[in-house]
Chains A and B, each alone.
Chain A
Amino acid sequence: MTVSAHVPVAGHPAEDVQVVGGRQRTGVLLLIVADAAFVGALVFSYFYLRGLNTSGAWITQGMHTATIWVGWLIGLIAVASAWCYRSGVNALRTGKIGGLIGGAGIALALVLLDSVVQIIQLASLPFKPDANAYASCVYTLAGANLFHLLLTAVIGVGIWNRARLGRYVATNPWQVEIVAIWWNWIAVAAIAGAVTTSFIASPNVGG
């Protein structure tokens, strides 16, 4: 393999921000693939057990199930949060750092609100995880969503604080754009959870 020089070693000039940004985006997308596989496994578990209805015990007769609209509310707040964050990113692209601070701040507030709603849902479900397979699935999906939201809140605090400190400029919006990809993903995951838990009764009535 023939080699020759093309970059002087002295000083190792910094890589182009586009190159670094593209690389970081690739890495985050791959991590999202892994996370999507995890969320997919939880959704698969829900539908698999619902379809099997082993011993006819997917849902115990007469039990109260989770209120569907709460899951959708959590999903919609996550979508609104992602939209606000995206607005902040767009503002940064046009050089309005204040827009990023505002957009990221509102997005962060919405994620925190979503986390609170999620915690309230978990605390007020009319069953415990040991009731049956349905109950176990709902708790696990809600717990995973809460983890997503809290992690996003931590990232959001970082972005908002760094934006406030002037760490981002219009010519290098890569970091905030990459976080936007994550933000969109957690909204998708929350909606996926809402869709999943909307299908309650097992089609396999015989068990």
Chain B
Amino acid sequence: MSAAVSDVAPQASTAPTGGGVLRRLNIVTAVWAGSALAAIGWFIAHELWQDGDHGSDQVVLVTLICWSVGFMVGIGAFNGPIGWIRGNDLAHEDELFLAGKDQGIGRYFRFTTDHKVVGIQYLIVTMVLFALGGTLAMLIRTNLISPDSQFLSAQTYNAIVGLHGLIMIIATIIMVTGPFGNFIVPIMIGARDMAFPRLNALSLWLIVAAIPVLFSAAFLGGIPTGWVGYAPLADQAPPGMDAYSIFILIFAVSSAVAGANITTTVLTMRARGMSWRRTPIFVFGTVASVGLALPAFPLFMASQILLQVDRTQGGQFYVASGGGSPWLYANLFWLMGHPEVYVILIPAIAALMELTPVFARKPLFSFNTAVIAIAGIVGLSVMVWAHHMYAAGWAPDLNGPFMLTTEMISVPTGLLFLVILGTLWRGRIWTTVPMLATYAMLWNFIIGGITGIYLSDVPADYALHGSMFVTAHFHYTLMGAGLTGAIGALAYWFPKMTGRMLNERAGYISFWLVQIGFNVTFIGMFAVGLAGQPRRVVTYAHLFAAGNLVSTLGAYCIGIGMLVLLYAIVSSWMHGPIAPANPWGAKTLEWTVPNPIPLENFEVLPVVTEDPYGYGVDEAFLTAELVSGSAPRTASTGSATATQAEVAAGSGQQVATLDREAGQL
């Protein structure tokens, strides 16, 4: 598997001498240190508290915290802070080592600070999470293939539903801002790295440390609450709930660190001349997402700390008889939970808005509207949380205002649709896998969005709350729009991230399998939900059998499509055709750097003099004529090699070259 980042092969003559003890630390030492500290923590906690009222929860809590701390010690996350306290600043050689210079593939298993390495690490982590969460989805749908399948026991089913939900939510939260926010955004704005490279590595490795914590829940009685972890059920759940809490605590710290880092990078490190008007829309989407997460996830973290006080100290936060209230949990959770939907959606749609002008060969339609719409969604998203609580009976007098704010959020969301449709309008579309993702998102998100308006309506929500209709709705938004956008982004930036072209045939096959399977699955789910099937149930009335069978067959189709996508990614990464520097003829800065990308991205820092979507009509026509809807073909232009689209979209000098060569093409 080759990487698009330079310095793949170790070179003894230029190998840096810095790094100190970090040279000996990697994921293996992290696992060892985590396991050792977890064992020590378990032993001490077991001796001290096992016989207490909350002994098992206290033991699990201490063990999992010790694992996480030990893992981070073992990966080298604390070396920097300890060195700083001791007054030791990093030497240039140390920084080069931390950046992964000349370390080959080993740098992907270390506390490496290069944003490109962190981006690839995030991509792998995201894919692993989707694979695990997707496998659980297949188990859920297999169980629901018929009312009497009894494929899973009720307890196992409950645990799997909760685990599937949480894994998928976390994966979708990081699926765009993790891989592409880290790999692409710094280059896109003309920076040499993130503002805080060590915090960048920290955010990634915190998630890696947290994943075993989450999966330990499966062996600790599961998460029987669904991914929302509602109290007071969470107070009474088995110790798997402790794993849930610790996972959320770690993830909240990781997202805060990543959010501060990406936001600071964009605010303070844009290239000279990159005014906000010249900043690509994907950058806006990324900052909006992490900026929204920054104050939102600490609320989720707080809700879990209160839960742990309840579970390990007998606290009364969520216990009504002790003066607490489950509504407190619901408020804290949904104050995070609804902004979180837009934390997922905004960067995915922004990625599609970024790539649509490239393949329509037209400027992004009404850039200002896109920015205003993103700002509007961010602003309104913090004022809609209680629409999740209509049926809970909390503050009925506020149902009306929350219905209004929820319906209002469809206005800026609709503006994003108009921006994409306006960009496509009369464009000469170059139909590629990334472009197909745009079409699919428009289709899916229309369905997800309109059903969301139904659910925002209080009377309709009373009828549909807790039904499969809701499950279908949020899958249409988070998967149909969010995940589709992320796949489009992957297909679009794959050549830059890996240095190779994605297998287009496999990409098309995967796309159609996933999209057809997706719509079959969740339209079936809408039908049974409307008919009254509740969600999160291990069995159901025979009345719903046909719809569930259809949904399960659709889910298998999605599963096969995802396996094809996985094959496309792995095979292309290993053996795909070498990608030119700018295979799509795009105009943003990431396409101006060579493959493999140098360690510090730019040989010279760029100065931006134009907006990123300056695709003229004539140029679009020229490009469309040249590429004629096919995959990029390589054309020789003098001594240089470039794709046709690359040449067409390039500078004046490059266009002039094309004019000379056009006759030969």
Contacts and interface: CB of A to CB of B under 8 A. Distances in A.
Interface of A: 1-9, 12, 19, 22-24, 26-27, 30-31, 33-38, 41-42, 44-45, 48-49, 52-59, 128-137, 139-140, 144, 154, 157-158, 161-162, 164-165, 167
B263 A30 contact: yes
A37 B314 contact: no
A3 B310 contact: no
A158 B317 contact: no
A193 B269 CA distance: 37
B610 interface: yes
17 contacts: A2-B610, A3-B589, A3-B609, A5-B607, A9-B603, A12-B600, A19-B268, A34-B297, A48-B328, A57-B322, A129-B315, A132-B316, A136-B306, A136-B322, A136-B324, A140-B315, A167-B89
B488 interface: no
Given A133-B316, A161-B86, A49 B325 contact: yes
Contacts of B604: 5-9
B260 A27 contact: yes
B317 A136 contact: yes
Contact of A45 (B81, B267, B268, B302): B302
A6 to B, nearest CB: 5
Contact of A35 (B84, B272, B298): B298
B298 A37 contact: yes
A54 B316 CA distance: 11
Contacts of B196: 24, 27
B589 A1 contact: yes
B268 A139 contact: no
Interface string B591-610: 01000000010111111111
Interface in B78-105: 81, 84-87, 89
Contact of B85 (A8, A45, A130, A157): A157
Contacts of A52: 325, 327
A30 B589 contact: no
B531 to A, nearest CB: 37
Given A23-B268, A130-B314, A30 B87 contact: no
Contacts of A5: 604-607
Chain B residues touching A, range: 35 or more
A34 B325 contact: no
A38 B298 contact: yes
Interface of B: 81, 84-87, 89, 190, 192, 195-196, 199, 256-257, 259-261, 263-264, 267-269, 272, 278, 294-299, 301-303, 305-306, 309-310, 313-317, 320-325, 327-328, 331-332, 587-589, 592, 600, 602-612, 614, 651
Given A1-B612, A6-B604, A9-B603, A134 B323 contact: yes
B87 A59 contact: no
Given A48-B331, A132-B322, A167-B89, A139 B309 contact: yes
B264 A26 contact: yes
A24 B265 CA distance: 10
Q: Which 8 A-B pairs have the closest CB atoms?
A: A130-B314, A133-B323, A41-B302, A57-B323, A5-B604, A3-B606, A136-B315, A30-B260
Contacts of A30: 259-260, 263-264, 294
A33 B294 contact: yes
Given A1-B587, A26-B263, 8 more contacts: A30-B294, A38-B301, A128-B314, A130-B316, A133-B325, A134-B323, A136-B316, A154-B85
Contacts of B313: 128-130, 136, 139
Given A34-B294, A132-B322, A7 B317 contact: no
A161 B316 contact: no
Chain A interface secondary structure, helix, strand, loop or mixed? helix
B589 A42 contact: no
A4 B323 contact: no
A136 to B, nearest CB: 4
B299 A41 contact: yes
Contacts of A53: 323
Nearest to B86: A161
Nearest to B196: A27
Given A41-B332, A162-B84, A162-B87, A1 B256 contact: no
A38 B323 contact: no
A176 B269 CA distance: 22
Contacts of A37: 294-296, 298-299
B266 to A, nearest CB: 10
B302 A2 contact: no
A46 to B, nearest CB: 10
Contacts of B608: 1-3
A114 B306 CA distance: 24
Given A27-B195, A41-B298, A6 B605 contact: yes
A155 to B, nearest CB: 8
A41 B303 contact: yes
Contact of A140 (B296, B306, B325): B306
B145 to A, nearest CB: 42
A48 B606 contact: no
Contacts of A54: 320, 323-325
A57 B315 CA distance: 13
B315 A161 contact: no
A49 B294 CA distance: 25
Contacts of A27: 195-196, 199, 260-261, 264
